[in-house]
Amino acid sequence: VLVDGAPTDLCATLTDFRVGRDGDPRQIASALATQLQDLADWVPFSVRLLPDSTAVVTGPPSTEVASILGAAAQPESREVASVWRFTPATIRSFFDTGGTGEELIDALAEMADTDVPQALAYTIRDCWRTYGALAVRKIPCAIVSEDVVLLTNIETDEALAVLKFQRLAPTVLISSATPIDTLAVLRRHGYSPVRHSDTGRLELDSATKVRANTTRTPHPSAPAAPRRRESRELARLLQTGDPGTVDDARVRSALSRHSRLLPRELDALTDAAARGAPVSIDYQNSKGAIVRHAISDALQDGNWLLALSTSTGTRESFAIMNIRAVSVGPH
């Protein structure tokens, strides 16, 4: 390769290598790549940023410019002048490589022969403002409970450190183990978790169910089933306003299955559920905060207590297990 009758640097590079079978193609390719890059750097190019969020590049761009445009814009044409279009999606792709909004604006201002258009700068800054507002992560296993105190005890239990917990929310713990291993560890340490499917449905073991013997006589010590009121008696009670008799023991037993209250507090809550007596409860909400409610006209329904809260002026539903304390009378 000669210029004005004299060998160029590229020619000198080629003559430094042995030819034929003794030549090393890898060494020749490496040397040529360096020389060709130097030649490309000598070729002038220009970048113009247009108001329609495009960049027009005349001539072969440098490696740095091509890298930035390739990360932040979409090529639309590659003719004598190549056209690159900036969109929110391509700009976010640049952020995915580790760049920031101001870094992209500064890089464009440095490479371009024109100023960065105001609309393009606004789009870049707006994309950067919302970038990362949402995060997507893979969770091996989630432990969910309305009992925030119970989750806190599990999280701080040194015997369960092998699960490497992370608190995702007041009512959600993340375990680093699989659901099967997490269940096994929790049960081995005295907890009684159940497994839910990905859609939140309870998953039961497929063990064979034993059918009860319908002819079996009840155990002599088993308590008799509570007597159901006839419809006529219920109608009479509604007309007369007579509250009738309430089985306090049955109400107390139903409440105790879902609560962790002291005996005297359980008695007060039983009186509230059986007769509507006003009481004050300290209730732990879904955020873990303890809120005091003065309630009356309470009714127990499964593991829930439905009552009129004078604190809010509306009827509220309280998970019995989240009632932390009960005191007699409104406060």
pLDDT digits (tens, 9 = 90+) for 181-192: 888 888 888 888
Please tell me the chain's helix, strand, coil percentages from 3-state DSSP, rounded to the nearest 5.
Answer: 40, 25, 35
Q: What is the mean pLDDT of residues 130-138?
A: 88
The string of pLDDT tens digits covering residues 17-42 is 655 445 566 776 776 776 666 665 55
Tell me: do 52 and 118 sit in the same domain. yes
The string of pLDDT tens digits covering residues 223-274 is 444 444 455 555 555 565 555 566 788 888 888 888 778 888 889 999 888 8
Does 171 reside within a domain? yes
Does 204 reside within a domain? no
Task: Name the residue among 64, 34, 59 with its Cα closest to residue 48.
Answer: 59
Tell me: do 271 and 310 sit in the same domain. yes
CA atoms of 49 and 161, how far apart (whole Å)? 56
pLDDT at site 306: 87
Tell me: do 157 and 115 sit in the same domain. no
More confident residue, 171 or 224: 171
Q: Which of 70, 95, 130 is the last residue of a domain?
A: 130
Q: Contact, 120 vs 53, CB < 8 A?
A: yes
Tell me: do 75 and 119 sit in the same domain. yes
Tell me: do 184 and 163 sit in the same domain. yes
284: which strand partners?
290
Does 101 reside within a domain? yes
Tell me: do 84 and 21 sit in the same domain. no
Tell me: do 105 and 91 sit in the same domain. yes
Does 260 reside within a domain? yes
Q: What is the CATH number of the domain that holds 256?
A: 2.30.30
Tell me: do 15 and 89 sit in the same domain. no
Question: Residue 313 pLDDT > 60, yes or no?
Answer: yes
Does 85 reside within a domain? yes
**Size (the chain), residues:** 331
pTM of the model: 0.45
CA atoms of 165 and 186, how far apart (whole Å)? 12
Query: Which two three-digit tokens encode residue 252?
Result: 């107390």
Tell me: do 31 and 50 sit in the same domain. no
Q: What total of structural domains would you count in the chain?
A: 4
Tell me: do 309 and 253 sit in the same domain. yes
Does 217 reside within a domain? no
Structural domain including 182 reads 141-198
CA atoms of 2 and 5, how far apart (whole Å)? 5
Tell me: do 112 and 55 sit in the same domain. yes
CA–CA distance from 28 to each of 18, 35, 219 (Å)?
9, 11, 96
Does 231 reside within a domain? no
Does 236 reside within a domain? no
Q: Which of 107, 130, 153 is the last residue of a domain?
A: 130
Tell me: do 184 and 160 sit in the same domain. yes
Question: Residue 125 pLDDT > 70, yes or no?
Answer: yes
